[in-house]
């Protein structure tokens, strides 16, 4: 009930304002469980994809969105519940992963659509990063549900970091054919199988999105970028301090030179004053 209301309230205006184009909509099963595995470019991905589908899609979201106190917190929790988000406590990496897997399995056992971002976080630069094998593959193998690869196109350009007002443009959604991994069922604890399943899904997403693929985790790249930004900031600070020290040294040298000149002039004046009187 709430999901339907929120879909009309948000999905309708979203489609009207941005007019997202869609390819491969027929690849989403009309009924039964399925996993929608998508690249992740923007916060808005979780709104655009459900907006173009007739069926409900359930994603996972951090628990803080549901537990913040006060009126604003309750409104935020109601909003995320309304758009099909499930709370997952991410305070511990392993616990968060297990909670996400459990939530995904429960959604699929109800015969619904479960949405997941295999990269684990938004792309820091628009490229496609290595998928994490824990969530997607384990849920797929534990349930036997088909995996539908999805590519979000240009959603990161709608509201880049630092831009307050979103840009009215047409993002795209390209949906691939379902992938069947039932041949691996019962092997959800084999890390090589999990890696193979994840890589196959990421390859299909790459073909759909046209993104450059980076064989490293997006979280690792974000750490590198953060460290580089920190190093650059420290270097700029050191440069400013060096310039400040140089200016201070020049000022001291000028002051010393001025004092020497004044002392020399005073000595000259005293010498002239103590000389023979004029006739």
For position 96, which CATH number holds? 3.40.1130.10
Q: Are residues 223 and 131 in the same domain?
A: no
Confidence check: pLDDT of 18 > 80: yes
Q: pLDDT confidence of 264, banded at 50, 70, 90?
A: confident
What mean pLDDT value characterizes the chain?
Answer: 86
Check whether 12 has a pLDDT greater than 70: yes
As given in the structure block, the two tokens for residue 205 are 């997403």
Same domain for 208 and 131 = yes
Q: What is the DSSP letter of 145?
A: -
Q: Are residues 117 and 106 in the same domain?
A: yes
Pairing of strands 57-62, 85-88: parallel
One domain for residues 12 and 93: yes
pLDDT at 279: 46
Of 190, 215, 240, the last residue of a domain is: 215
Q: Is the pLDDT of residue 140 over 70?
A: yes
Who has greater pLDDT, 154 or 81? 154
Tell whether 50 is covered by a domain.
yes
User: What is the torsion angle, in degrees rounded to the nearest 10, for the CA atoms of residue 163, residue 164, residue 169 and residue 175?
Assistant: 80
Same domain (yes/no): 51, 98:
yes
Domain boundary among 194, 215, 236: 215
Q: Are residues 209 and 221 in the same domain?
A: no
Let me know whether 90 and 174 are in one domain: yes
Residue 79 confidence (pLDDT): 67
Cα–Cα nearest to 155, from 83, 209, 80:
209
Residue with the bigger pLDDT between 87 and 93: it is 87
Do 198 and 254 fall within a single domain? no
Mean pLDDT of 98-122: 92
How confident is the model at residue 70, as a pLDDT?
78
- Same domain? For 7 and 141 the reply is yes
**Sheet harboring 21-23: ordered strands across?**
21-23, 172-175, 147-153, 34-38, 113-116, 57-62, 85-88
Report the alpha-carbon distance of residue 117 to residue 95 in Å, rounded. 18
Is there a domain that residue 202 lies in?
yes
* Total domains, the chain: 2
256 and 190 within one domain: no
pLDDT, mean of residues 112-134: 93
Predicted local distance difference test score (pLDDT) of residue 262: 84
With a cut of 60, say whether residue 278 has pLDDT above it: no
* 154, 224: one domain: no
Q: What is the pTM of this model?
A: 0.79
Whether the per-residue pLDDT at 66 is higher than 70: the answer is: no
Distance, in Å, from the CA atom of 252 to the CA atom of 278, rounded to the nearest integer, reads 41
Beta carbons within 8 Å of 145's beta carbon, 6+ residues apart: 33, 34, 35, 108, 114, 139
Q: Per mean pLDDT, which range of 59-68, 104-113, 197-206, 217-226 is the poorest? A: 59-68
Which one is predicted more confidently, 128 or 3?
Answer: 128
Instruction: Look up the domain containing 236 and give its range.
Output: 217-274
Per-residue pLDDT at 64 exceeds 70: no
Same domain, 68 and 160: yes
Query: Do the domain assignments include residue 132?
Result: yes
pLDDT tens figures, 215-256? 999 989 989 888 888 888 888 888 888 888 888 888 888 888
- Residue at 279 is within a domain: no
Using 50, 70 and 90 to split pLDDT, how confident is the model at 89?
Answer: low
Q: What is the pLDDT of residues 160-187, one digit of tens each?
A: 777 778 889 999 999 999 999 999 988 9
Name the domain boundary from 215, 241, 263: 215
């Amino acid at each position: 009930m709430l999901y339907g209301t929120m879909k009309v309230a948000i999905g309708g205006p979203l489609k009207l304002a941005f007019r997202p184009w869609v390819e491969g909509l027929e690849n989403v099963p009309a009924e039964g469980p399925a996993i929608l595995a998508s690249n992740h470019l923007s916060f808005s991905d979780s709104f655009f994809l459900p907006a173009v589908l007739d069926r409900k899609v359930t994603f996972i979201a951090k628990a803080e969105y549901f537990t913040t106190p006060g009126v604003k917190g309750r409104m935020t929790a109601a909003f995320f519940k309304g758009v099909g988000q499930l709370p997952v406590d991410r305070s511990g990496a392993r616990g968060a992963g297990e909670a996400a897997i459990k939530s995904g399995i429960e959604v699929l056992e109800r015969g619904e659509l479960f949405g997941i971002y295999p990269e684990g976080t938004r792309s820091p630069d628009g490229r496609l990063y290595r998928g994490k094998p824990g969530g997607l593959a384990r849920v797929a193998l534990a349930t036997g549900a088909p995996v539908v690869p999805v590519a979000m196109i240009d959603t990161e350009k709608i509201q880049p970091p630092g831009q307050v007002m979103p840009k009215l443009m047409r993002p795209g959604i390209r949906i691939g054919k379902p992938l069947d991994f039932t041949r691996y069922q019962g092997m959800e604890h084999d890390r090589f199988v999990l890696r193979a399943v994840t890589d196959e899904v990421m390859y299909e997403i790459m073909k759909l999105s046209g993104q450059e693929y980076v064989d490293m985790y997006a979280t690792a790249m974000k750490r590198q970028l953060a460290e580089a930004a920190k190093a650059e900031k420290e270097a700029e600070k050191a440069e400013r301090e060096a310039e400040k020290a140089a200016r201070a040294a020049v000022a001291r040298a000028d002051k010393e030179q001025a004092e020497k000149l004044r002392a020399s002039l005073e000595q000259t004046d005293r010498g002239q004053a103590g000389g023979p009187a004029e006739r």
